[in-house]
Amino acid sequence: MPTSLQSLAARGQSPWVDYLSRGFVHDGDLAGLVADGVTGVTSNPTIFQAAIAEGDAYDEQMREVLRSEDDPKQVFLALAIQDIRAACDLLRPVYDRGDPSRDGWVSFEVDPHLAHDARATVEEAIALHRRIDRPNLFIKIPGTEAGLDAVEETIARGIPVNVTLLFSLARHRAAAEAYLRGLRRLRDAGGDLSAVASVASFFVSRVDAEADRRLDEIDGPADLRGTLAIANAELAYHAYREIFTGDEWSELQAAGASPQRCLWASTSMKNPERRDVTYVEQLIGPNTVTTMPRATLEAFADHGQVIDTLSTDVEGARRTFERFAAAGVDYDDVVAELERQGVAAFVASFQQLFDGIADKRSALVATTNGSDTS
């Protein structure tokens, strides 16, 4: 009998896990999930910050790296890249199958401090792609205005991209257009379109959290709570199906291009009063990706229901938008605020990560010195 995750794949949706750590890769946990149907991995600064801060899994390598490097960012990259390569290698058989879904990807993010600097983002994307040196690597680039310029340039250079931190329909469409411009440039330069791909990471639960907070402030309609995120994602998927059709797209597809799939991110349920797998269950549809934190993935594997739910009521999604506007909740301001918060949160995680590396470095030095004098 297929697992719930394998049943998702049968519906055309790729289940990925939003987690990565050294133990997770090397102790067999990731391999077990791949056997159960997981076909990709996403990571971000917050995930790595927690992984490196906990326990001693990285201590031995950190001691080695610290002999020649003391810049916290470079120390972090040395540690994280080893995990990313190992995850890529583990998922390489999935990638090599050559399924139409183009799975087997592992995502690694550029420094979020660069979110508003297109040139620096491109330079770091190129450097990371070259350094990690795996064909099934996605470079994650935030979908800010500057980030979208970087997406086009990075795709034009033949580097696969996960466009992250997308909250608005306008930004999602702009990410698709940036991808298409990059593909056309790559094709015109004689590049191999079949070697690149992209996903658009459209964040879900944070939209409800912010919209519901604003509804509560104005004593808005109670039945609107918990409805904007799904409506937002449904309309993004509707746009995806419009964008990746037509003669121009058919020409790119014939040259080897694959569409930029919607990836549902931030799928954990923040409201304890609602079903824990709501966002996964309500966004199931073909040619999409859902990435889940481990707890959500395990919950879905245990009791998730697999039913096609996307695009069942596009007009209903539009009416939800109209009702929020009538209630006094400004959608454009909600998603703009979420983008600001998202970039700031990842920058803060990066800084915590650097501070944690500095603290661990001091502890390792103290331990080494203590051992030398004992």
Active-site residue list: 140
Identify the CA nearest to 176 among candidates 126, 238, 233, 240: 240
Q: Measure the CA–CA gap between 185 and 175, rounded to whole angstroms.
A: 15
Please name which of 176, 121, 182 lies closest in space to residue 156, comparing C-alpha atoms: 182
Give, as one character, the DSSP assignment of residue 74: H
What does the block give as tokens for 95? 């990638």
* E strand or H helix that includes residue 140: strand 137-142
Angle at 174 between CA 170 and CA 175, to 5 degrees: 120
Give CA–CA dist 207/230, Å, rounded.
9
Element (H, E) at 108: strand 105-109
**Phi, psi at 167, each rounded to 5°:** -120, -30
Q: Which of 125, 115, 120 is nearest to 145 (CA)?
A: 115
Burial class of residue 372, CB neighbours in 10 A (0-12, 13-18, 19+):
exposed
Token look-up 């919607």 returns: 262
How many Cβ atoms sit within 10 Å of the Cβ of residue 71? 10
